[in-house]
Amino acid sequence: MEQTVASPHVLLFPFPGQGNMNSMLNLAEFLCNAGLHITFLNSNHNQQRLLRFTNAQERFSRWPKFRFQTIPDGLPADHPRSAATFFEILDSMKATAKPLFREMMIMASRKESGLWPPLSCFIIDGLMPFAIDVAEELSIRVIVYRAISACCLWTFFCLPGLFAAAELPFQGGDVEDDMDVTIKNVPGMQGFLRRRDLPSFFQTKDPTDPIFQQIGVECQKMTQAYGLIINTFEDLESPVLTQFRSQVPNLYTVGPLHALTLRRQHSSSSMTSNIAVSNSLWDEDRSCITWLDSQPPKSVVYMSFGSLVVYDKDTLMEFWHGLVNSGKLFLWVVRQDSINISGGEGTSFLAEVVDGAKERGSLVVGWAPQEEVLSHPALGVFLTHSGWNSTMEGIYAGVPMICWPFFADQQINSRFVSEVWKVGVALDKCDRWTIERVVKDVMEQKREVLVESIDGLAKLARRCISEGGSSRSNLDRLIQDLRSVRESVYDTSTSTLVG
């Protein structure tokens, strides 16, 4: 019998959203590079789109110990999978994926073939507690991964205190008129956090809203797991992370993950910096890079609201007029599925927007290689929905931000960008006059101050991912912890665990 020490075999299972999958794939690259066996479990829908629009299959084929596997999300192919249907996706994953996931994991934890040892650890997106239940049932170590900010996660843990202090649910007659009331019972955020800055799920008068129960379960699972991975860095969220460690002491802050990936790719002899690397679920229109090449430095407003946001016609037109009236050049990402107009009217309306931008020397595209756009010298400001991946990418690139958050963690991210880190400005209203004024302010009068602040944060981010930096050290610690999970003897002749 031929025996070898089994290499750790880690399952990575992201929630089926663009941001969740993208950042976890960045993590997967590092674990692969450390020589670990990695199974990346994607939804069928996302895997099809990933393989259609990227070179991910080719990139990851460099590691023989990496493989993709898929699982259905239970939704029809034409389901919008947008912010408005977020909880439908959650419910469908729980109903459809849970029994299939359990069956797959029972098989994978007992027996594999060839190079693949049994699973030794799960890294599970915290939005899917059912997958954590399966890991606990199989007595497999589980580490929770969250693709949102630590400041948002900390408010989740503070929910019981907010209820006990009667700060939730919101009290009063017209809640909308009282959204600037200061929140007092989120330790570390007193003095600047307002009702409107809490995660959008909290903004309800109904104390029985099932989302509160869902968040409670997620928090409980985080405290029971072996550890928690967050795509952030110590110098960015240190005060919040100090609070967080009172509940979850074993934190791995490993961000910005996209920057760690870029650094490894650019230093690798097998890849060069001019090879496009993407984990996108949309077809990236690279003509925007050629267009940016012809624009003056710091002259362009880049506007993108991510992969889930859907506009109504009125909102889109307010942004359109605000950008045009500012007199600034703009690069605007408008996904084909992001316009909430029925039938062929949506297509014709988008065509008008595209043509109108072109007439004014600007550009509208369906999707863009965002990391490359943000690092381009022509970029002057990033008008963003304040999704966490976008926020981290904007900080690392050193581009001041204008924030218009939509849902989930985006409200609190926006507040930190504008009031804590002071690297951007939050829109308080979505009308053309406000948008015009803020764009001009950030591109002109406020630019120097904002650039100084964000340059400082960008330098701290680079230090964190450098050798000896906090994120790099935490990643090394994560890899060592994964290697220590199972130092078992593996019989390569029978593909069974024997020790």
**CA–CA dist 396, 392 (Å, integer):** 6
Do 393 and 491 have their domain in common?
Answer: no
Any domain includes 183? no
Q: What are phi and psi of 471, to 5 degrees?
A: -70, -40
Q: Which DSSP category does 176 fall into?
A: G
Helix, strand or coil, per DSSP, at residue 425: strand
The confidence score (pLDDT) of residue 493 equals 39
Residues 118-154: tens digit of each pLDDT: 899 999 999 999 999 999 999 999 999 999 999 999 9
Look up residue 80 and give its two tokens.
């919008």
Contact assessment for residue 32 and residue 58, using Cβ atoms and an 8 Å cutoff: no
d(CA 341, CA 349): 9
For residue 407, the one-letter residue type is F
Residue 197 counted as domain residue: no
* pLDDT tens per residue across span 410-456: 999 999 999 999 999 999 889 999 999 999 999 999 999 999 999 99
Instruction: Indicate the burial class of 404 (C-beta count within 10 angstroms; 0-12, 13-18, 19 or more).
Output: buried
Amino acid at 66: F
| 193 located within any domain | no
> 407 to each of 21, 24, 285, how far by Cα in Å?
19, 21, 26
Q: Do 454 and 477 have their domain in common?
A: no
Q: Does residue 412 contact residue 152 with C-beta atoms inside 8 Å?
A: yes
What is the crossing angle of helices 470-483 and 234-244, to 10°? 60
**Sorting pLDDT into bands at 50, 70 and 90, what band is 486?**
low
> 3-class SS at 496?
strand
Q: Do residues 218 and 341 share a domain?
A: no
pLDDT band at residue 260 using 50, 70 and 90 as cut-offs: confident
Task: Check whether residue 440 and residue 486 sit in a common domain.
Answer: no
> Is 245 inside a domain boundary?
yes
In sequence order, what are the residues at sequence separation of 6 or more whose Cβ sits closer than 8 angstroms to the Cβ of residue 335? 282, 307, 366, 367
| Alpha helix ranges (H) inside 360-419 | 370-374, 388-397, 410-415
Residues 456, 480 share a domain: no
Q: Taking 90 as the threshold, does the pLDDT of residue 85 lie above it?
A: no
What pLDDT score was predicted for residue 176?
Answer: 62
pLDDT band with cut points at 50, 70 and 90 for residue 108: confident
DSSP letter, residue 256? -
Give the CATH number of the domain where residue 145 resides. 3.40.50.2000
CA distance 448 to 70: 48
Residue 216 sits in the same domain as residue 138: yes
Together in a domain, 305 and 438: yes
Token duo for residue 461? 């981010």
- Categorize the per-residue pLDDT at 170 as very low, low, confident or very high, splitting at 50, 70 and 90: confident
> Which residue has 């989740």 as its token pair?
156
**For residue 207, pLDDT beyond 60:** yes
For residue 36, the SS3 value is coil
249/271 Cα distance (integer angstroms): 37
The predicted structure's pLDDT at residue 148? 96
Residue type, 95: A
- In this structure, is residue 382 part of a structural domain? yes
478 in the same domain as 382: no
**Greatest mean pLDDT range, 9-23, 70-84, 208-222:** 9-23
325 belongs to a structural domain: yes
**What CA–CA distance (Å, rounded) separates 378 from 427?**
23
Same domain, 128 and 229: yes
| 181, part of any domain | no
- If one compares 316 and 172, the residue with the highest pLDDT of the two is 316
Q: Report CA dihedral (284, 286, 288, 291) to the nearest 10 degrees.
A: -170
pTM of structure: 0.92
Q: Counting Cβ atoms within 10 Å, is residue 206 exposed (0-12), middle (13-18) or buried (19+)?
A: exposed
Q: Which domain holds residue 410?
A: 287-460
Count the domains in the chain. 2
SS percent in the chain: helix, strand, coil, step 5:
50, 15, 35
Least confident segment among 95-109, 366-380, 471-485: 95-109
Sort 78 into a burial class: Cβ within 10 Å, 0-12 / 13-18 / 19+: exposed
Q: How confident is the model at residue 344 (pLDDT cuts 50, 70, 90)?
A: low
- pLDDT digits 0-9 by tens, 26-64: 999 999 999 999 999 999 999 999 999 999 999 999 999
C-alpha triplet 81, 82, 84: angle, nearest 5°: 120
The torsion angles phi and psi of 43, rounded to 5 degrees, stand at -70, 150
Identity at 1, one-letter amino acid code:
M
Mean pLDDT in the chain? Answer: 89
426 shares a domain with 329: yes
Split at pLDDT 50, 70, 90, the class of 173 is low
Same domain assignment for residues 477 and 359: no
Same domain, 8 and 79: yes
In this prediction, residues 295-318 reach a mean pLDDT of 92
pLDDT number for residue 174: 56
Q: Which two tokens stand for residue 95?
A: 């109903």
Is residue 477 assigned to a domain? yes
